[in-house]
A = this chain, B = another copy of it.
Amino acid sequence: MTSPYHQTYAERALNHENPAAKLLLETMERKKSNLAVSVDVTRSEDFLAIVDAAGPYVCLVKTHVDVLEDFDYSLVERLQELSKRHDFVIFEDRKFADIGNTVALQYSSGVYKIANWSHITNAHPVPGSSIVKGLSSVGLPLGRGLLLLAEMSTKGSLATGSYTEEAVRMARAHRDFVIGFIAQRRMDGIGAAPDEAPEDEDFLILTPGVGLESKGDGMGQQYRTPREVVLDSGCDVIIVGRGIYGSEFQPDTIAARAERYMAEGWAAYVERTSST
């Protein structure tokens, strides 16, 4: 099989059984966008304005609903309307990191009921595979997908080496629900035993820490360009936050910046799939 690095998103959509993975790849192909916007603001009004302005240019909106001061569940309904209108996938970046029984409750219940509305969520592999089982017991029947944090973009991250290998093994053992990784490069074949056939696997790689210039934020975040991420490292979705919505949340500026990131990300993808 051709490596996922060289396949189109449309080709890869056919190889995925998980509905959330399929939806994301089809959306990317349809919109010609591998851009995700990460919306980390504390007021619902700003949140919705940013999503509405960036929505036409992104395949996915990444949320942290737990930073919203004035959250109530009607926000979720508004987000779902925008998701339909602008055709994007929703990814609550919850970074679950507890034992199986607890994450199952955190995912299904509470104020946020994340499993009800977020097509994709993510988890740290650190508790061991019970975290995947706990989340899967809630998410799989709903057609949801999970990303594991195999690497982080922060300075001094401990998600390296054997930790990353274990994350990939955990994903490989739960391919019905784990659709890919938060990582800085492709994970195909990492940590595989000689008798496994990692050439058949296709994990989606979603990559934070993307900026038009490489630099940092003073809080340990490090940035790479869309071209470095998609072409050099073979990642699939570039995740951009403040680089799109800045600090003033102006719709025209947001749209213009999102369009620019979308174009850069897509150009890198076209170059990648044209290469052999």
Tell me the A residues contacting B by CB distance below 8 Å. Answer: 40, 42, 64-69, 71, 93, 95, 97-102, 104-106, 109-112, 124-131, 133-134, 149, 152-159, 163, 166-167, 217, 219-221
Distance A71 CA – B134 CA, assembled complex (angstroms): 22
Contact among B97, B104, B153 with A124 in the assembled complex (CB-CB below 8 Å): B97
Q: Contact at A134–B100, with CB atoms within 8 Å?
A: no
Q: Contact at B154–A68, with CB atoms within 8 Å?
A: no
Q: With A64-B106, A66-B106, A67-B110 known to touch, is A128 a contact of B157 (CB < 8 Å)?
A: yes
Chain B nearest CB, measured from A129 CB (Å): 5
Chain B nearest CB, measured from A110 CB (Å): 5
Contact among B40, B102, B157 with A64 in the assembled complex (CB-CB below 8 Å): B102
- With a CB–CB cut-off of 8 A, which chain B residues contact A219? 99-101, 104, 130, 133-134
Q: Contact at A40–B158, with CB atoms within 8 Å?
A: no
- With a CB–CB cut-off of 8 A, which chain B residues contact A129? 155-156, 220
- With a CB–CB cut-off of 8 A, which chain B residues contact A93? 98
Q: With A157-B128, A158-B126 known to touch, is A105 a contact of B42 (CB < 8 Å)?
A: yes
